[in-house]
Amino acid sequence: MPFPSLADLATSGVPADGFPTVDELRDDLMELSRAHPDRITASVIGRSRLGDPIHLFTIVGGERSVVVAAGVHPNEPIGFRTVQHLARVLIADPDTFGFDATWHLVPCIDPDGTRLNEGWFAAPLRRDDYYRGFYRPAPDEQVEWSFPFSYRGFGFDAPIPETSALMELFDRVRPDVFVGLHNGEFGGVYFYTNEADAVLARELSAIPARFGLPLDVGEPEIAGLDLLADAVFRAPLTREQIDRRIALGLAEPRAGGAGTADYLERFGTTTMIAELPYWCHPDAADTTDTGTSYRAVLTAKAAALQELHDVMTGILDGVRGDMTIDSPFRRASEAFAPGMGSVAAAERVRIASPETDRPATVAEVFGNAEVVRTFRLRFGGILRRALAAEVHAGTASPSVRAALTALTARWEDWLAADPHAQLAPAPLNALVGVQLAALFATVRRRVAEDAE
Ligand SMILES: [Zn+2]
pLDDT tier at 17, thresholds 50, 70, 90: confident
Torsion over CA: 114, 119, 125, 127 (sign): negative
How far does residue 283's CA lie from ligand 1's centre (Å)? 22
Which residues fall within 8 angstroms of residue 395, CB to CB, at 6 or more apart? 324, 325
Q: What are phi and psi of 64, to 5 degrees?
A: -65, 155
Q: What is the pLDDT of residue 8?
A: 58
How far does residue 400's CA lie from ligand 1's centre (Å)? 31
Torsion over CA: 99, 79, 34, 116 (sign): positive
How far does residue 402's CA lie from ligand 1's centre (Å)? 33
- Single out the residue of 267, 404, 268, 261 nearest to residue 330, CA to CA: 404
What is the bridge-based pairing of β-strands 289-293 and 149-151? unpaired
pLDDT tier at 141, thresholds 50, 70, 90: very high
How far does residue 411's CA lie from ligand 1's centre (Å)? 23
How far does residue 165's CA lie from ligand 1's centre (Å)? 18
How far does residue 276's CA lie from ligand 1's centre (Å)? 10
How far does residue 199's CA lie from ligand 1's centre (Å)? 24
pLDDT tier at 1, thresholds 50, 70, 90: very low
The rounded radius of gyration (Å) of the Cα atoms in the chain is: 22
In this predicted structure, the answer to whether residue 13 has a pLDDT above a threshold of 90 is no
Sequence-ordered strand ranges (E) for 135-294: 149-151, 154-156, 177-181, 186-187, 190-193, 227-229, 232-234, 270-275, 279-280, 289-293
How far does residue 107's CA lie from ligand 1's centre (Å)? 15
How far does residue 136's CA lie from ligand 1's centre (Å)? 9
Eight-state DSSP code of residue 94: T
pTM score of the predicted model: 0.94
How far does residue 8's CA lie from ligand 1's centre (Å)? 26
Q: What are phi and psi of 402, to 5 degrees?
A: -65, -40
How far does residue 189's CA lie from ligand 1's centre (Å)? 13
pLDDT tier at 14, thresholds 50, 70, 90: confident
How far does residue 36's CA lie from ligand 1's centre (Å)? 31
**Domains of the chain by range and CATH?**
6-281+425-451 (3.40.630.10), 285-416 (no CATH)
Q: How far does Cα 48 stand from its chain's mean position?
A: 19
Q: What is the pLDDT of residue 5?
A: 58
How far does residue 143's CA lie from ligand 1's centre (Å)? 10
In this predicted structure, the answer to whether residue 6 has a pLDDT above a threshold of 60 is no
How far does residue 75's CA lie from ligand 1's centre (Å)? 8
**What is d(CA 353, CA 270) in angstroms, rounded to the nearest whole number?**
34
Higher-pLDDT residue of 284, 252:
284
How far does residue 73's CA lie from ligand 1's centre (Å)? 5
Cis bond leading into 124, ω under 30°? Answer: yes
pLDDT tier at 452, thresholds 50, 70, 90: confident
What percentage of the chain reaches a pLDDT higher than 90?
83
* 133 residue type, one letter: G
How far does residue 420's CA lie from ligand 1's centre (Å)? 22
How far does residue 184's CA lie from ligand 1's centre (Å)? 7
How far does residue 394's CA lie from ligand 1's centre (Å)? 34
**What length is written for the chain?**
452
Task: Find residue 41's DSSP bridge partners.
Answer: 58
Higher-pLDDT residue of 254, 191:
191
170-185: per-residue pLDDT in tens? 999 999 999 999 999 9
CA torsion angle 247 250 251 257 (round to 10): -100
pLDDT tier at 218, thresholds 50, 70, 90: confident
How far does residue 11's CA lie from ligand 1's centre (Å)? 24
- Single out the residue of 274, 272, 266 nearest to residue 148, CA to CA: 266
Per DSSP, the three-state class of 160 is: coil
pLDDT tier at 235, thresholds 50, 70, 90: very high
Per DSSP, the three-state class of 165 is: helix
Torsion over CA: 79, 85, 88, 90 (sign): negative
pLDDT tier at 252, thresholds 50, 70, 90: low
How far does residue 114's CA lie from ligand 1's centre (Å)? 12
How far does residue 182's CA lie from ligand 1's centre (Å)? 4
332-367: per-residue pLDDT in tens? 999 999 999 999 998 999 998 898 999 999 999 999
- Single out the residue of 287, 273, 284 nearest to residue 213, CA to CA: 284
How far does residue 349's CA lie from ligand 1's centre (Å)? 25
Which residues fall within 8 angstroms of residue 336, CB to CB, at 6 or more apart? 138, 312, 378, 379, 382
Higher-pLDDT residue of 12, 244:
244
How far does residue 167's CA lie from ligand 1's centre (Å)? 18
Q: What is the DSSP string of 424-436?
A: PPPPHHHHHHHHH
